[in-house]
């Protein structure tokens, strides 16, 4: 498993460098732009989709066929993609939260309720894309998965833009701590379910 993760890190370093530039640019714009939350959301969204990008290169380089000759199970191959997604998604998540805190402090309107609300929104959107798309990619391949990816990013982008246009504020409702905890739990359970479903699909898939 360690070897698979190292392979994913090497591929990410080689093929996904533009993602880092995109994250930096969008976070920088978030400090100087208006209150459009899209600039905070997008780095988390794009980082969470690194596993799909890596799978695309795997198929192009025939890695999916070559991996069948190695002492790795299909469960391990699937797990490596989910783990690498968690690692880079978590990194983007922490950076986005830190950027949100700094921006709040600079603008003099720091609110713990708003920060917690934003934190849950970022977590939900960051994990939603891989949760929904990875099972499809493992079942049908990256081409069909990429189409679904573009549709989903478009919908999320439109949703973020509309929310910003309406002046939507993310704050805790009454009893909000328990509600947020429940939302986080549901997100984690859905991610684990997606993980297991992808393993089932990939075991049955003809390579």
* Per-residue pLDDT reduced to its tens digit, 102-135: 777 777 777 777 777 778 878 887 888 788 888 8
Q: Characterise 120 by phi-psi region: left (phi > 0), alpha (psi -120 to 50), beta (else).
A: alpha
For the stretch 95-108, pLDDT in tens is 888 877 877 777 77
How is residue 130 written in tokens? 């891989």
Return d(Cα 16, Cα 165) in angstroms, integer.
31
- Predicted confidence band of residue 159 (pLDDT cuts 50, 70, 90): low
Query: What would the mean pLDDT of 155-177 be, rounded to a whole number?
Result: 58
Burial class (CB in 10 A: 0-12, 13-18, 19+), 170: middle
This prediction has a pTM of 0.77
Reply yes or no on whether the pLDDT at 193 is more than 90.
Answer: yes
Domains identified in the chain, total number? 1
Segments forming the whole domain that contains residue 67: 2-204
- Name the band, by pLDDT with cuts 50, 70 and 90, for residue 161: low
Enumerate residues 6+ apart whose C-beta is below 8 A from 8: 54, 80, 81, 84
Average pLDDT over residues 141-157: 70
């Amino acid at each position: 498993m360690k070897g698979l993760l190292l392979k994913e890190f090497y591929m990410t370093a080689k093929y996904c460098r533009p993602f880092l530039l995109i994250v930096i640019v969008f976070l920088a714009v978030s400090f100087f732009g208006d209150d459009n939350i899209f600039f905070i959301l997008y780095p988390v969204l794009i980082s969470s989709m690194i596993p799909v990008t890596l799978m695309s290169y795997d198929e192009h380089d025939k890695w999916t066929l070559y991996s069948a000759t190695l002492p790795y199970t299909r469960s391990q191959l699937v797990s490596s993609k989910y783990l690498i997604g968690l690692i880079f998604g978590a990194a983007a998540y922490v950076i986005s939260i830190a950027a949100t805190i700094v921006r709040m402090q600079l603008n003099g309107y720091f609110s713990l309720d708003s920060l917690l609300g934003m934190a849950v929104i970022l977590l939900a959107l960051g994990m939603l894309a891989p949760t929904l798309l990875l099972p499809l990619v493992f079942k049908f391949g990256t081409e069909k998965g990429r189409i679904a990816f573009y549709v989903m990013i478009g919908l999320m982008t439109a949703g973020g833009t509309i929310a910003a246009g309406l002046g939507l504020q993310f704050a805790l409702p009454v009893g909000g701590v328990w509600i947020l905890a429940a939302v986080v739990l549901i997100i984690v359970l859905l991610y684990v379910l997606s993980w297991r479903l992808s393993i089932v699909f990939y075991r049955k898939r003809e390579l």
